[in-house]
Amino acid sequence: MDNTVKLILREKEYEVRQGMTLLDALKKSQIIPESVIATRDGELILDDEILKQGDVIRLIAVISGG
């Protein structure tokens, strides 16, 4: 098993290293942290959450352009 974490936003998937915080992973993926809510296994997680190997983080967009 590899040591990556998947971030899924709409139809796009991003891969980041385990051990990063959610905030760092979002920044590395060029996702604006304030624009999404992150969930893991249906549970809300916060920006300082450490991502673990094999995690699949689903991102839900909370703002829309206008």
Domain range annotation of the chain: 4-61
pLDDT of residue 2: 76
55/58 Cα distance (integer angstroms): 10
Return the pLDDT at 64: 62
CATH of 4-61, one of 3.40.140.10, 3.10.20.90, 3.50.50.60, 3.30.450.70: 3.10.20.90
pTM of the model: 0.88
- What confidence score (pLDDT) does residue 36 get? 96
19: left (phi over 0), alpha (psi -120 to 50) or beta: left
CA dist 30 and 27 (Å) reads: 5
In tens digits, the chain (66 residues) has pLDDT values of: 578 999 999 999 999 999 999 999 999 999 999 999 999 999 999 999 999 999 999 999 997 666
The per-residue pLDDT for 4 is 94
